[in-house]
Chains A and B, each alone.
Chain A
């Protein structure tokens, strides 16, 4: 309870500073809109329907891109973390591409995919896949040698050890990896939408820039923040549901 108050006070402090500098006119409304203006903008967008349609389309893009990237990253990452041959093949490749700035691929992606959803998927895929592969491989490598040996002494073959021991043991940390990378995926989504889109949260922000509609920009940023927070909470709750064996109290 005490910690919840502390958490809430952090948010309250930022809100208070925001109110203080805008309502007093210390900062012009063009540079930073008041909370009221942002709320009014929210009501307007909700009434016209763009608020939820933006969220829907952005959410759809990030989900498809993320699921696709994860579907590939999971098996490749696991194999990289458990097989020296796979590691030798993938590591230089992944390590090299990982450091290429995703944003720099945007011109090429537009050339290849136009401004379609495919282009967003592609950018999110690039951003998510390479990070996930490296992190999942690392999650698997950190599985204790002792549990792997248990599997071996029980007569499991290599594939069974990977499937029934390594992946199961690494699952909670892989879950944390997905949770972290999901947060990054939001950045890639907005970057993709900022440049080449006709809908979505990033597009809304970009469009508002042209008309200097700063309350729309702030609203867009806050919406992304809240969505991120909600999905993070869901990840956390699902984690507790999937891995009930973590953090149990001792019986005696």
Chain B
């Protein structure tokens, strides 16, 4: 296995609310290696997005450590690119300007180079010819392509994606998954991908962490070994279905346990 990029150990996040202390995450651990695609899968409310926000530096841990490249994470930084679920483009900028905006702080590049890079990455995500269009003129899928281009253009070591295709229709979603597989290979980045879609997680990932909720914690970790050349028919093969089955059984077990727990406290 290649070099370790991110290591999260004993991560906890509690929120002080009016009703008392709420534990969103408890003793979560996760690792990501260079050029690895890791998914965080779990039911909604299990804290997977909270975890991603911690890695992004948008929120602070209350327990444990998250170390990226040997440095503890305290704030957002340009070593990480983030793709949010939706509405994250700046509506007053054209598509290419949105991508180039990510290079704003890059002093080594001049304006022309930034524009060229923006055009190049838009082409990479299949948006050639749509460079001078405003976000409001684009469909959800196109907007998400721009968001991916923007997250890739400054070549972050780690790409964080928070249910990036959650708001898209099924067909667009499939196209975007295949696009991501292609782009991921070219970008030489690593990915932390948050999703609640089992097929999506197995299809895209090298490894999948399954989480349980109440409080959010690790439940299962799977290493996915499927042929590198990903294609939709892959989802019909025995190994793919076996992984899927393993995850479904795990989630089902969680639901049963949660129901028993609820019955016991009643």
A4 within 8 A of B: no
> Nearest chain B CB to A192's CB is how many angstroms away?
37
A155 within 8 A of B: yes
Contact A154 B101, CB 8 Å, known A147-B88, A165-B90, A251-B133: yes
B81 within 8 A of A: yes
A243 within 8 A of B: yes
Measuring CB to CB, which residues of chain B are less than 8 angstroms from any residue of chain A?
Answer: 56-58, 76-78, 80-82, 84, 86-88, 90-93, 101-102, 104-105, 130, 133-139, 142, 154
| Contact partners of A149 in chain B: CB under 8 A | 58, 82, 84, 88
Contact A154 B137, CB 8 Å, known A168-B90, A245-B92: no
A7 within 8 A of B: no
Interface pair A146/B104, CB less than 8 Å apart = no
Smallest CB gap from A168: residue in B: B92
Bound Cα distance A144, B84 (Å)? 13
Bound Cα distance A168, B89 (Å)? 13
A248 within 8 A of B: yes
Instruction: Bin chain A's interface residue count.
Output: 20 to 34
Interface pair A250/B58, CB less than 8 Å apart = no
> Nearest chain B CB to A249's CB is how many angstroms away?
7
Docked complex: A145-169 residues within 8 A CB-CB of B: 146-147, 149-150, 152-156, 160, 164-165, 168-169
A246 within 8 A of B: yes
Contact of A156 among B86, B88, B91, B105 (CB under 8 A): B105
Interface pair B138/A251, CB less than 8 Å apart = yes
How many cross-chain pairs have Cβ atoms below 8 Å apart between A and B?
74
Smallest CB gap from A164: residue in B: B104
Bound Cα distance A51, B82 (Å)? 61
Contact A248 B136, CB 8 Å, known A147-B88, A168-B92: yes
| Contact partners of B91 in chain A: CB under 8 A | 169, 245-246
Smallest CB gap from B80: residue in A: A153
> Nearest chain B CB to A147's CB is how many angstroms away?
6
8 contacts between A and B (CB under 8 A): A146-B88, A152-B76, A153-B58, A156-B104, A168-B92, A245-B136, A249-B137, A252-B139
Bound Cα distance A53, B91 (Å)? 44
Interface pair B58/A152, CB less than 8 Å apart = yes
Interface pair B105/A154, CB less than 8 Å apart = yes
| Contact partners of A144 in chain B: CB under 8 A | 87
Closest 4 CB pairs of A and B: A155-B78, A153-B82, A245-B134, A153-B76
> Nearest chain A CB to B238's CB is how many angstroms away?
39
Bound Cα distance A250, B135 (Å)? 9
Interface pair B139/A153, CB less than 8 Å apart = no
Contact of B88 among A150, A243, A248 (CB under 8 A): A150
> Nearest chain A CB to B126's CB is how many angstroms away?
14
